[in-house]
Structure 1
């Protein structure tokens, strides 16, 4: 009997001394930053990850706390943008990017791993932070005039429409009270971001917003976006985008902390 108790005791001690692997972060009590996250896991750490990805513009869905294919796709896109190993697993390096100070990440020039915001492309990043239905603000850098628009359609670039009659009036004033295909350098403000862009001021095609005194939509292009007709990059739009980026960089240099506001 004593021998049996001794064996049971040894087994119990051995089991207690072994680490227990749990994928549910509620049970482990581990924080977001200390947990490697990957497909199939669930819990508060995954929900925190989804919230962080949403803040950075990579996750545009309801947070569920489950690491499924949608979350993995968001992680992969972030990893590619920041030149990390694109494996869909949130390890130390990916945590460092996601958990870092957002403003410093966006304008950092000192790290070879981090792409500065001026290198974000339409297909690589911008289309995710400017999905169809997004309302944003356009500022013409030559006149300083601003107006509100909405991305209503488009795949190769942002087909957009003015929100109101007043916005249409301002846009038309920028073009000298006449619509024109002339490409103009602009700054696009969406969420916490300021992005260099180019617009062509000629309404055309379909429209979805009524009572704004604009029939059709106008084109807004970003770095490496393409036209719909030729499926090619338009040099005039890219030239205007470079002018807008130079203007934006000068604005940023005036900020004492170097951050975008």
Structure 2
């Protein structure tokens, strides 16, 4: 598919950087992101492109890597015995998803077409407030399809070093699979451990914001200092979400050992 057949350009006029319509759109989205720590762009891709992306994901699903993990909200698999038992670094939570790495689904997928299109990349850069973003150069990481089948969920966590996270909902769950976020749970100067502990132990559910993510919607959020999770999926429909990774410099690749943990082992070619 052509990029113009993927992105809803009537609602999101992103082609001409000098146009007043694009300027107004980007300014509004940037302010929402700064205020709420997330912004949602409903109907960002066209229905035919979404249907094609879902079909590509379903075809590739048998090649997905099953991730079952027990980690704290800092993405660590082990706690710290020097800290109290109820410290958030010692509260381990279960999560399970199926991950389709970049090299596991079709290069013709509308998700990849969208990811590599310069007008989309520049729109995201303008919204998050950087001059330039680059495509990730890793064989696994650039854009993934994160799939949740019945019983799957993502536990409360912070993103490690990401200045922002960008996702595209392709297919929502029948029940559950809600994206919840507690904006500004911590700051760069204050880990706010007591409040983090209360969030991850379910003591302040009223502070969690449910972020609307209907099928076709793009979401940009700052997850580094805001706890977030996906509630357990119920029903027969697989929740399918694209996860996009852009970089602040070119030619970034990941650690192969880390990739093997997240995306599964790759075939090794001798010589």
Alignment TM-score, normalising by the size of structure 2: 0.25
Larger radius of gyration: 1
By percentage of residues, which structure has more helix? 1
Alignment TM-score, normalising by the size of structure 1: 0.25
